[in-house]
Amino acid sequence: MSRRFLTRGRRGGAALAALTASLLLATACAPSGEDPAAAPSASPSAEPSGDAPGPGSEALAIPEFDVDLDQLAEQGIEALENLEGYEDWQWDDWRNWADQHIFQNPLIRDLWDPERFEQAEPPQQEEPPAESPTPEPEEPDDGVPPAIEAEAAPRPYAETGEAIVGKLFFDTPEGPAECSATVVADPSNPGASNLVWTAGHCVHGGNGAGWYRNIMFVPAFNSAGNAEDPDVTTEELSPYGAWWAVDATASTLWQESGENYGNEASTEDWAILRVANMDGSTTSLEETVGDAAPVWFNADEELARADAWGYPAVPPYDGLDLYSCAQDDPDRLDVTPDTTPMWWIGCTMTGGASGGGWFAERDGERVLISNNSIADLDYTWMAGPYLGAEAEAAFEEFTAG
């Protein structure tokens, strides 16, 4: 068992020093040969993919990417004059730059099926760089929440009130990947939300890299528990349909400096997606699943209880079942002196649970307060970002658009 050296922080929390932790992300190696669905490289020097985006949908209205300088300005991209040598850029240069800065998710029908779902396998978790300081306090485990065994949700999920939690599938440069995500309420469309909340590292490579591709949300994935049936269909695994991401936002901190071993950017490791039903239906996601969780920004710093949900995929789990961990009086984890402490609970969920919602009660209503982000390498605890002013401002801007 690896030991994590954490020092006491503010009330009920600890400071994150050389965090022996990693993002709760599960990915798989790409199939042999070229994968036409593969995402472009997530490095800033990536070459354009050159792949055709596949057949689109009139109902979803997802066009092929085209350079639009007005769009760049509207999205707050750096001014054109700050792009070194742009006067000599060719189309491939623009496409490569856009891959890193503009969310684009051209629809590929029939891409995700039971066979491709099964390809998602967890990677080896990474540790912090060797040069990171590792202070050893007098009481190494002081303040670390005790492990809480994750509990399997009762089935069918479609009938137990947990349909708002689902799986998020997407392609990274390494191949197919999976996370968890939650349907959240949209103040601009009361009762008819098409918004999904997840972790930033589930949609963007972080550290100046780019957006992932082929992002699709499946609420109440494998609700009936028949995923291991060799004849199971995509429709049977998707009781509320499959929802393609048509727009997204993630925190600036995550996009610029996120790392897959956990760092200060984990304190803003969140993302918001707008989705559309792949069958062309105009009925909203919220109306389809029957619920959506309001997001509680700037939540009380002391809560009676927090529940974290997700689809863990690293053994002993297999990514096919929905689990949760609940802790009374959740702790706070200090990452750096200058960042807001993360929510912190004991939990044995593993990779694949990333992005799954954390819930608390406010005035008798179940609300979302965070999402699964990082865990220790032994999977005894888990932490999620505190959704403060930056998250609230991004949410308001995203929903206003």
Helix, strand or coil, per DSSP, at residue 78: coil
Q: Please give the pLDDT value at position 303.
A: 95
Instruction: Give the span between the Cα atoms of 346 and 98, in whole angstroms.
Output: 40
Q: Please give the pLDDT value at position 45.
A: 34
C-beta contacts of 126-129 below 8 A and 24+ residues apart: 126/22, 126/260, 126/261, 127/20, 127/22, 127/261, 127/377, 128/18, 128/19, 128/20, 128/261, 128/262, 128/263, 129/261
Q: Which pLDDT tens digit goes with each residue over 343-374?
A: 999 999 999 999 999 999 999 999 999 999 99
Q: Which pLDDT tens digit goes with each residue over 24-33?
A: 644 333 333 3
Query: What mean pLDDT is predicted for residues 263-272?
Result: 95
Q: Please give the pLDDT value at position 147.
A: 96
Q: Please give the pLDDT value at position 103.
A: 87
CATH topology classification for 24-42+110-128+145-400: Thrombin, subunit H (2.40.10)
- Percent pLDDT > 70 in the chain is 71
Q: Average pLDDT of the chain?
A: 80
The H or E element spanning position 13 is: strand 13-15
Query: What mean pLDDT is predicted for residues 221-229?
Result: 96
Instruction: Give the span between the Cα atoms of 189 and 145, in whole angstroms.
Output: 38
Residues 6+ apart with CB under 8 A from 223: 155, 156, 157, 158, 163, 239
Q: Which pLDDT tens digit goes with each residue over 106-147?
A: 999 999 999 999 997 543 455 666 554 433 333 345 589 999
Helix, strand or coil, per DSSP, at residue 215: strand
Q: Using an 8 Å Cβ cutoff, are 324 and 132 in contact?
A: no
Q: Lowest-confidence range among 47-51, 80-84, 86-90, 390-394?
A: 47-51
State yes or no: pLDDT of 54 exceeds 70: no
Q: Please give the pLDDT value at position 209.
A: 84
Q: Please give the pLDDT value at position 7.
A: 25
Q: Please give the pLDDT value at position 14.
A: 53
Comparing 78 with 376, the larger pLDDT belongs to: 376
Tally of residues, the chain: 401
**Residues 301-331 as b or e (16 or more Cβ within 10 Å = b):** eebeebbbbbbbbbeebebbbbbbbbbeebb
